[in-house]
Amino acid sequence: MSRDNKVFPSLADAIRSSGLKDGMTLSFHHHFRDGDYVMEQVMREVARLGYRDIKLACTSIGSSAQVVADYIEQGIVTGLTTSGIRDHIGEAVSHGKLKEVAVLRSHGPVPWGDPVGRARNDGEVVAPPDDVRDDFSGISVCMHVRDYQRTTASLVTWLPADREERPRTVAALGSPCCSIFVPCGTGWMPEVLGDAATWAVVGGLADAVEASPDALAEVRMVLDPVEDRIWEQATQRPGRPPLDGGAAWSADVRSALAAAADRVGAGSGG
Ligand SMILES: [Zn+2]
């Protein structure tokens, strides 16, 4: 087609011609207090054209773009980077409809799951990416790129919409793909989360996983049951420490990490 005129006949043509694919991020900038209608118009068209798994990076989401709440519910929008959310979108995110946290551990498109009724990866293992591609694939919230970077530690808090409910927080030493998220909270922390030796073990596991993709499945096989068990126990006292302050969890986590390291022949050096 002639490129003398940069105006496309329709918004749909412009969107298709941009090369938009499922999983990509769309960015919007606005100046008005409640936003303008650009994001709403574009997102209605994106939804109509059947795109899925779109991430939004936008100045903020005002009342003009509340349609995005429906798209979060429908899985058309699965990630959000913005300065503020409110109204229906705030509700949808507070109720866990947004799947962004689901890529925390996986190196690929497979969900990690949340602590209640999580879906495991069904044995699918994706090795840490060896490079970041031009479209920024090859990087997840795990932030793991082979021989280049990995996460030092992670912390996730679920903020309930109901203020009577306590927030739930979990933290992991080292790269989440090779570690265990341990429940913790304001003013309490199982002792293993402050343990330098354990940190080194997780570092050794990450080294092994980078050297051999198959090692990751072995590592998760050992770590998942322990993480499942302590999360299950944490649901009995939501947002509060276990009665022993986390001593049993610390022991469990330490021995599971050691067993995983044994299994894949990982040294403890990071
Ligand atoms: Zn990783």
CA of 184 to the centre of ligand 1 (A): 22
* Residue 251, C-beta contacts closer than 8 angstroms, at least 6 positions apart: 192
Q: How high does pLDDT run on average in the chain?
A: 83
CA of 205 to the centre of ligand 1 (A): 10
The stretch 234-254 carries a mean pLDDT of 94
CA of 151 to the centre of ligand 1 (A): 8
The rounded distance, in Å, linking the Cα atoms of 219 and 236 is 27
Domain with CATH 3.40.1080.10 in the chain: 11-94
Q: What is the pLDDT of residues 168-216, one digit of tens each?
A: 899 999 988 899 999 999 899 999 999 999 999 999 999 998 888 788 8
Query: How large is the angle between the packed helices 214-234 and 247-263, nearest 10 degrees?
Result: 170
CA of 111 to the centre of ligand 1 (A): 13
Q: Which residues neighbour ligand 1 (ion) by CB within 5 Å? A: 128, 142, 144, 175, 177
Is-contact 61 73, C-beta < 8 A? no
CA of 229 to the centre of ligand 1 (A): 22
CA of 176 to the centre of ligand 1 (A): 6
Is-contact 142 216, C-beta < 8 A? no
Q: Which among 211, 228, 226 is positioned nearest to 267, based on CA atoms?
A: 211
For the chain, percent of residues with pLDDT exceeding 90: 38
For domain 11-94, give the CATH number. 3.40.1080.10
CA of 128 to the centre of ligand 1 (A): 5
pLDDT given at position 79: 82
pLDDT given at position 266: 86
pTM over 0.85: no
The rounded distance, in Å, linking the Cα atoms of 195 and 250 is 10
Quickly state the pLDDT bin for 270 (edges 50, 70, 90). Answer: very low
pLDDT given at position 90: 74
CA of 30 to the centre of ligand 1 (A): 35
Q: What is the pLDDT of residues 74-121, one digit of tens each?
A: 889 988 877 766 777 777 776 767 665 555 667 766 555 444 444 455
CA of 201 to the centre of ligand 1 (A): 15
